[in-house]
Structure 1
Amino acid sequence: MNEDSALAGPSLLAVADGMGGHPHGDVASAAAVTALTEPPAAGEPAAALAAAVARAAARLEELAAADPELDGMGTTLTAMAWDGAGFAVAHIGDSRAYLLRGGDLFQITRDHTMVQTLVDSGRLTPEQAADHPLGSTLLRALQPGGDQHPDLFRQDAAPGDRYLLCSDGLSGFVPAGAIRDALAGAARPEDAVTRLIALADAAGAPDNVTCVVADVADVAEGAADPARREPQLLGAAAGRGRRARRTRRTRRA
């Protein structure tokens, strides 16, 4: 069973979906997410995030070199770092980031999958892609010896925006319209996560399901700076068996 890791903080969000089987997947996802928490070098958030992803890739190479049994491991990684007015985004694999703004849902990342390439070329429709047998075939991931180059871009943000980072245990089984309704209808990020996990369960998702939901909000003058709070490591990165309120994982045998 593949294992997910996540990170939820006031200025840094991430989801990683490990691959290579249990326990190799959890080693990969945990290593990738943990690398994001290391003190960044001075510079812009975009450069710091890119450097953190490079550290994560290097760490996987080191682990595989030390233990040949880990050579087939890998992980997706979708991460967002706040820069004061928006987010630096790093993305590789088929975990996703969504934006809910003004009641509309936008997928802001692009899947690095064979099926997405076929959709982009016009050889498949999105409807055909949903049930395609190559749906889980990744073209890019953080993986020893693989293509380690993530998409790097900036996402503008505004108060009232709600962001969702999720593994494909959610996006592969719950339609975009249902995701939109769950995000739009929840008063708090925690409520949205609970609803999304329930939808994935009801849809029969056979894989781990990890969701991180965060709102962009104005900080009142004189209030404590939320950016000073420590981010939470979740899932495999926090240790097996631990759970947190913003991320839940579900399994089916």
Structure 2
Amino acid sequence: MTLTLRSTILSDPGLVRSNNEDAGIAGDRLLAVADGMGGLPAGEVASEIVIGILAEVAPPAAPEAAQAMLRAAISTANNQIRAAIGADPERDGMGTTVTAAILAGAELVLAQVGDSRCYLLRDGRLRQLTRDDTFVQELVDQGILTPEQARRHPQRSLVTRAVQGHDAPPAIAVLTLAAGDRLLLCSDGLSDYVDDTAIATTLSGYPDRQQCAEQLVKLAHQAGAPDNVTVALADVDGSGDDETTQTVVTPGG
């Protein structure tokens, strides 16, 4: 069976910020979300760099090649961000998260730096496939905080790793997908303010991808939406139909 992704992406500045530093891609074999680091200069430049690099590559069909491609793309992004900082020292400190997924055959290859997440909905059950690179996640891992306490912690958005112009190899994961699976990649503008139960209910309750994405953003708005919100949503299809599509969202949109 040939699998493909039927995907959509929606990015919203939220209700507080005047600009949107998020960027992303939704294609038939590639999904990615990048969140320019809030509070640091030129975060939108950093997120656009990494998404621009990913948008130019042809996703490999073999999982091992997909892993190598994602590592290389993130390394190139670090080099370009370092060069951008060198050309304009006022950009020193800019960076971005990135979570990217390639469908290689029946395998999903995930690469992550930062706290943009990937979720899998299968048979009505939601599973977080990525681990946040954040200060509060380290406290959860140590048993100091519960996941619920981490959600309310004032430093929940403090990332410990980002694509900032220095070596930051991504965490890589590979898992087997099946037709009927639903994937969600999102920036922390969703996951910090909408809990997993509400996300699962929405992913299960809205078969139409665009309506589902709009509802997820609506939930972020209802929670105050103090941050940019980006959701890339894909259904895993086993029909084998060939359909080459790709939507790229750049910062400011």
Aligned to 1:235: 250
Equivalent residue letter for 2:23 = S
Per the normalisation by structure 1, the TM-score is: 0.87
Equivalent residue number for residue 89 of structure 1: 110
Query: Could you list the runs of 5+ residues in structure 2 that have no partner in the other structure?
Result: 1-16
Q: Does 1:33 align with 2:48?
A: no
User: Contact 1:96 / 1:107 at 8 angstroms: preserved in 2?
Assistant: yes
Alpha-carbon distance, 1:101 to partner: 0.3
Deviations 1:227-253 (A, max 9, x none): xx24211131xxx34xxxxxxxxxxxx
* 1:149 and 2:169 aligned: yes
In structure 2, distance between residues paired with 1:78 and 1:203 = 23
Q: Tell me the residue number matched to 1:246.
A: none
Which of the pair has the greater relative contact order for Cα pairs under 8 Å at 6+ separation?
2
Q: 1:160 aligned to 2:180?
A: yes
Q: Pick closer, same or farther for the CA change 1:184–1:20 going to 2, 3 Å.
A: closer
Name the counterpart of 2:37.
19
Instruction: Give the whole-Å Cα distance in 2 for the aligned partners of 1:166 and 1:71.
Output: 26
Query: Is 1:55 aligned with 2:76?
Result: yes
Q: How many residue pairs get matched? A: 232
**TM-score, normalised by the number of residues in structure 2:** 0.87
| 1:158-237 mapped onto 2 (5 Å cutoff) | 158-220=178-240, 223=241, 225-226=242-243, 229-236=244-251
User: By percentage of residues, which structure has more strand?
Assistant: 2
2:139 paired residue number:
118
Aligned residue for 1:149, secondary structure, equals coil
User: Which residue number in structure 1 is paired with residue 26 of structure 2?
Assistant: 8
Give 3-state SS (helix, strand or coil) of 1:29's partner: helix
Give the AA of the match of 1:6. G
SS of the residue corresponding to residue 178 of structure 1 reads helix
Residues of 2 paired with 1:176 and 1:23: CA distance?
Answer: 31
Residue type of the partner of 2:50?
Answer: A
Partner letter of residue 201 of structure 1?
Answer: H
Distance 1:21 1:118 in 2: 23
Shift of 1:38: 2.4
Question: Which of 122, 136, 139 is 2:157 aligned to?
Answer: 136
Which residue matches 1:250? none
Per-residue displacement from partner, 1:50-103 (whole Å, max 9, x unpaired)? 211111111111111111111110000000011011211100101100000000
- Tell me which amino acid in the other structure corresponds to 1:10: D
Gaps of 5+ in 1: 242-253
Match of 1:248 in 2: none
Asked if the contact 1:71–1:144 (Cα under 8 Å) also holds between the matched residues in 2, the reply is: no
Q: Distance in 2 between matches of 1:39 and 1:104?
A: 32
Letter in 2 for 1:7: I
Native 8 Å contact 2:80 2:165 kept in 1? no
Q: Using the alignment, how far apart are the partners of 2:198 and 2:115 within structure 1?
A: 19
| SS in structure 2 of the partner of residue 210 of structure 1 | strand
Aligned residues with identical type, % of pairs: 47
Q: Aligned partner of 1:107: which letter?
A: Q
Q: Which amino acid aligns with 1:189?
A: R
Would the alpha carbon gap of residues 100 and 117 (structure 1) be closer, same or farther in structure 2, given more than 3 Å must change? same
8 Å CA contact retained: 1:40, 1:52: no
Distance 1:84 1:53, change over 3 A: same
